[in-house]
Structure 1
């Protein structure tokens, strides 16, 4: 295998020559290869219309195959959705249809709104586990469940603090209690390991504009066959329904609707295949680098960054970081006696871009970041604190 050159990879991301970017947890920039694919796919629309439609469908299917292998599942259990909020809404509606009003779910206090709002909007009672120093011990999560609890709905990685949950232990505990495990993997996929079988995940959604390196392409949704059998889609579109014979479109009227048994039942209508093809390029680009290599690179940068931040007076690292298993690509810090918001604005003037989440400074590191980026960040914070 050829030796990786992180500096060469860095050059694939044009913004690295202009700014110091620590906002990938909001949206990752796209590499050169993805930008080229976007130009080519929309160029085909410009020149050929939909003449390559079936070819594009085949390539989208090939991407689901690759992503299925990454999650240890079959492609028939995966579908692209417009966003994670819609995916979670489908779960909330299905649960409401099956259980009525006499049930609850358990989630976490630090969750991103896409995780819990779909359930609260359906008036489903949600009990929120409180963190312990940014962590969520499995025992504490399970202790909040009761006889009416039907599911735990939570993130793999917390968007604000970066805490990464032990999914294997939590999934095993939920399986023993026969509770659904619904996961928002947005801040973990595709860098950090996910095995839906080993983790006993029933439903998973991951918004792909965060770490997918392909822009706003929607989200990936996984549902297990057992989940779909008990909780079929609560809504349907023309692509959710199995056609008769060789028909491509279901044109019959006034008859029963037969939805697909696969995750295709959530494919309500046509998708933007051009952005999905860009995602295919991005996924293959990262796959070629190696997700293990990417994860090791990111965690190495995170460890280095935390070590430097800990040396600054008045800087408190809030993200759990006692061991690599709880770390992600996100670091959250708070400044003592100074305004976090003003620090972010100060850093922007230095062309160093972080962001505010939960009133703290969020720093997210990607594999294109380097030691010099960390140095500019730390020096910028040092200068601000010295004012």
Structure 2
């Protein structure tokens, strides 16, 4: 039932085998329709006046935060809507005040954007956490890299070039014990795997919406800890980041006595990290609809289906002679399966191109010499997608 309902919502599957949600996913019809309803409202302005029209736009945007809170078992006051993962990582890097000589730990198998915001800080060392052969990242490797000057660990919960899923509960406990800020890029986990923020610690949990959340409209999410709300200040401020006036903004703007010099009170909520002004409404509404679909399907059911597909894919790849990079241990696996066929990366890339010629969407990713052909199995995929990929691989490499 889950797969049938999901596939009906993704007409982009009709003419292709789409196995590359880790790059950018297809959008569901639900999101398209929600954005269409919003743009129709924007065109027509059915409200009594433009002020009420604007307030309704703001109200619809907040529905995305409500769906995100439900998905991640978070309190809504801990949820902020952001533009992208890059945006969220930069917010974290700007909000955490680092003294000269501090260091930030970043694994050597990361996507480069995880390191970039910290590299832009003067007199701060970005220190690599060395992975083991095959891109394995253990909590012990982070512990070995820490010293008295470590202030931040910035890490992807699932590594983009291997599909390796870290033990984020243990890493969170280690960082909390040592008062080290933990900034997590969860873009390859949220939407494919169950994530419950009550069960594991992070200070900034960040993802764009365009991959496993199926919302390629320029909006993502950030969940922050109580420590962030208590100790950090956002790097920018806007009026929608303030406590709203008792009479509401519509009446406030009509009040002759207000001035720009009042004592404004900013909220101690995650939305204080939003820019606090007119926002990307279509992006938020698309994100909200996509997350609502996932909540309707059930993330536990989605993860179980994704894991069954990765099991099938692993078994079939091993049967036909591929060399798997993604770990065998189920706890360290995600919706990503990475393998090599040839010893030369150029030959593997040529194989990817031939698969793309046959409208089988996969990709190839490497970091620090680690990686290979990457296959994303999402909740809208089924066994026929796996079987088609395997048949074409056999035919192309015979």
Q: Same fold (TM over 0.5)?
A: yes
Give the Cα separation in 2 of the matches to 1:172 and 1:8.
38
**Could you tell which deviates more after superposition, 55-64 or 108-117?**
55-64
Give the Cα separation in 2 of the matches to 1:90 and 1:185.
15
Could you tell me how far 1:243 is from its partner in structure 2?
5.8
Look up the match of 1:311. 319
Corresponding residue SS for 2:80: strand
| Per-residue deviation, residues 309-328 of structure 1 (Å, max 9, x unmatched) | 11223x211111x2221111
Whose RCO is larger (CA < 8 A, sep 6+)?
2
2:326 is aligned with 1:329:
no
Give the Cα separation in 1 of the matches to 2:2 and 2:83.
35
| Per-residue deviation, residues 291-321 of structure 1 (Å, max 9, x unmatched) | 11100001110110111111223x211111x
Give the Cα separation in 1 of the matches to 2:99 and 2:5.
55
Equivalent position to 2:19, from 6, 17, 22: 22
Could you tell me how far 1:354 is from its partner in structure 2?
0.7
Corresponding residue SS for 1:239: helix
Equivalent position to 1:260, from 251, 254, 267: 267
| Per-residue deviation, residues 167-191 of structure 1 (Å, max 9, x unmatched) | 1111112222221111111111133
| Per-residue deviation, residues 361-381 of structure 1 (Å, max 9, x unmatched) | 111111111112111111222
2:112 is aligned with 1:113:
yes
Look up the match of 2:383. 371
| Per-residue deviation, residues 53-99 of structure 1 (Å, max 9, x unmatched) | 4334334333323322332321111111111212211221222xx33
Look up the match of 2:89. 88
Q: 1:375 to 1:150 in 2, by over 3 A?
A: same
Look up the match of 1:148. 149
With the length of structure 2 as denominator, give the TM-score of the two structures. Answer: 0.89
Q: 1:244 to 1:340 in 2, by over 3 A?
A: same
The question of whether the paired residues in 2 share the 8 Å contact of 1:168 and 1:198 is answered with: yes
The question of whether the paired residues in 1 share the 8 Å contact of 2:137 and 2:166 is answered with: yes
Q: 1:255 to 1:11 in 2, by over 3 A?
A: closer
Could you tell me how far 1:256 is from its partner in structure 2?
6.3
Look up the match of 1:237. 238
2:213 is aligned with 1:212:
yes
Q: 1:101 to 1:331 in 2, by over 3 A?
A: same
The question of whether the paired residues in 2 share the 8 Å contact of 1:302 and 1:329 is answered with: yes
With the length of structure 1 as denominator, give the TM-score of the two structures. Answer: 0.91
2:300 is aligned with 1:298:
no
Give the Cα separation in 2 of the matches to 1:100 and 1:372.
54
2:191 is aligned with 1:186:
no
| Per-residue deviation, residues 25-57 of structure 1 (Å, max 9, x unmatched) | 111111222222222221221122765443343
Corresponding residue SS for 2:100: coil
Equivalent position to 2:31, from 24, 29, 34: 34
Q: 1:94 to 1:340 in 2, by over 3 A?
A: same
Look up the match of 2:374. 362
Structure 1 alignment gaps of length 5 or more? none
Look up the match of 1:157. 158
Alignment of 1:43-82 (within 5 A): 43-48=40-45, 52-82=53-83
The question of whether the paired residues in 1 share the 8 Å contact of 2:30 and 2:290 is answered with: yes
Look up the match of 2:224. 223
Equivalent position to 2:355, from 326, 347, 353: 347
Give the Cα separation in 1 of the matches to 2:58 and 2:192.
26
**Could you tell which deviates more after superposition, 245-254 or 54-63?**
245-254
Give the Cα separation in 2 of the matches to 1:234 and 1:276.
21
The question of whether the paired residues in 1 share the 8 Å contact of 2:194 and 2:303 is answered with: no
Q: 1:280 to 1:116 in 2, by over 3 A?
A: same
Structure 2 alignment gaps of length 5 or more? none
The question of whether the paired residues in 1 share the 8 Å contact of 2:192 and 2:379 is answered with: no
The question of whether the paired residues in 2 share the 8 Å contact of 1:56 and 1:277 is answered with: no
| Per-residue deviation, residues 305-353 of structure 1 (Å, max 9, x unmatched) | 111111223x211111x22211111111112245111011100111111
Give the Cα separation in 2 of the matches to 1:8 and 1:93.
42
Give the Cα separation in 2 of the matches to 1:210 and 1:285.
15
